[in-house]
Amino acid sequence: MAVVVMVGVVGEGSASAHRRDHAVAQLSDRQLADPSPLRTGGQTHLFGTGPGFPTLSSKRVARGFRVSGRAMPRSGLPRWHGTGTGGTRHLWAPHVARVRGPRGPGYVMYFTATRRGGWDCVGVARSSRPARGFRAAGPPLVCAGRRATIIDPSLYVGPHGRRWLTYVRRDRVTGIGQVRIIGLGKYGMRLRPGARSRVLVQNGRTITEAPSMLTHRGRTWLFVSRYSYRGCGYRTEVYRARTPDGRFRPAGPDHGRLVLRSRAGRVLCGAGGGEVLKTRRTVRFYFHAWRGGTEYTGGRRVPFVAKLVWRNGRPVVARR
């Protein structure tokens, strides 16, 4: 059974601030890294990293999540997936969106998978149902050859309805990573003809990953995670630009950090790997954080959600 625990983000150095909890909730006690939300048909689904892409579902947006299965059966895996260079075999960071295709409405999944004999690539799959039955379609959508790996795909729909894919390219030789974006076709299953990727954020050898973009209040916002996910140093940061093709800069001090705390006022350990979801006028950020330790001490990454509001020109966690 899923466990729902309310936690809060509080001010520093003030006992009274501890009584003004921020709108942050733990959604389950189960492992679900890189939670990616989809709200459709009166339900919210969370898709996570792992074999078959484990899924939690609820009729609510911030509680009541229970295990609903795996989104991709073994028979749906891409033919190109297999053991890669160095023995890797990843299935990471799925992102699911509702689309209207030539055969009617359906759902498309973008995901990271290891290419047999190579590095990670971005694949695409389709299903007529939102949380199960996904089957990969064709070759990888984006790869980077023998030198680099491609991870963490996410769909961004621009102000005029055009579709874009954001992802991370990491050079295996230099260690330099980039958050990049490339145009998608009408139905989101192929790249836009003639599309060329461009860099949104480049932070040298500092790990920067898990991009998620949103247009809100006349600006484009880019949420990313930085540093290693294996420990408590993993964190969420926010960039902004005037337009999707503009120059992205940190939204606020400390590199635009979005601080997420527990009810007791402690910073949540390794809060990142998240995505934004806008429903009507409400913006929420779904992310994971470590519980019971870290990667090094047998911990697990469990899903959380934070309700966001905009103050002083940048997103912060709302008060309950």
Q: Say if CB 115 and CB 84 are below 8 A apart.
A: yes
**Cα separation of 115 and 89, whole Å?**
8
In this prediction, residues 201-207 reach a mean pLDDT of 89
| pLDDT tens digit sequence for 46-90 | 999 999 999 999 999 999 999 999 999 999 999 999 999 989 999
Structure tokens at 25: 């909730």
Q: How confident is the model at residue 104 (pLDDT cuts 50, 70, 90)?
A: confident
Q: Are strands 163-171 and 148-157 parallel, antiparallel or unpaired?
A: antiparallel
CA angle, residues 111, 113, 114, in degrees to nearest 5: 160
Residue with tokens 């800069």: 249
Q: Give Dmax (Cα) for the chain.
A: 58
| Residues near 162 by beta carbon (within 8 Å), at least 6 away in sequence | 183
Q: Which residues share a beta bridge with 170? A: 149, 177
Structure tokens at 219: 């600006």
Q: How confident is the model at residue 265 (pLDDT cuts 50, 70, 90)?
A: low
Residue 31, pLDDT above cutoff 70: yes
Q: Which CATH number covers residue 48? A: 2.115.10.20
| Residues near 211 by beta carbon (within 8 Å), at least 6 away in sequence | 152, 154, 166, 167, 168, 179, 200, 201, 222, 223, 224
Residue 34, pLDDT above cutoff 80: yes
Backbone angles phi, psi at 62, to 5 degrees: -140, 20
CA atoms within 13 A on the CB side of 305: 23
| pLDDT tens digit sequence for 155-164 | 999 988 899 9
Q: Which residues share a beta bridge with 167? A: 180
**Cα separation of 109 and 155, whole Å?**
9
What's residue 16's pLDDT? Answer: 38
Q: Which amino acid, 52?
A: G
What's residue 263's pLDDT? Answer: 65
**Cα separation of 219 and 208, whole Å?**
21
**Cα separation of 63 and 304, whole Å?**
10
Structure tokens at 81: 């997936």
**Cα separation of 268 and 92, whole Å?**
22
In this prediction, residues 185-200 reach a mean pLDDT of 94
1, with CB counted inside 10 A (0-12, 13-18, 19+), is: exposed
Residue with tokens 């076709």: 185
| pLDDT tens digit sequence for 215-226 | 998 999 999 999
What's residue 167's pLDDT? Answer: 98
Please give the residue range of the domain that contains residue 193: 5-317
Residue 280, pLDDT above cutoff 90: no
Q: SS3 for 77?
A: coil
pTM above 0.85, yes or no: yes
Total of domains in the chain:
1
Task: Give the DSSP H/E element, type plus range, for residue 283.
Answer: strand 282-291
For the chain, what's the residue count? 320
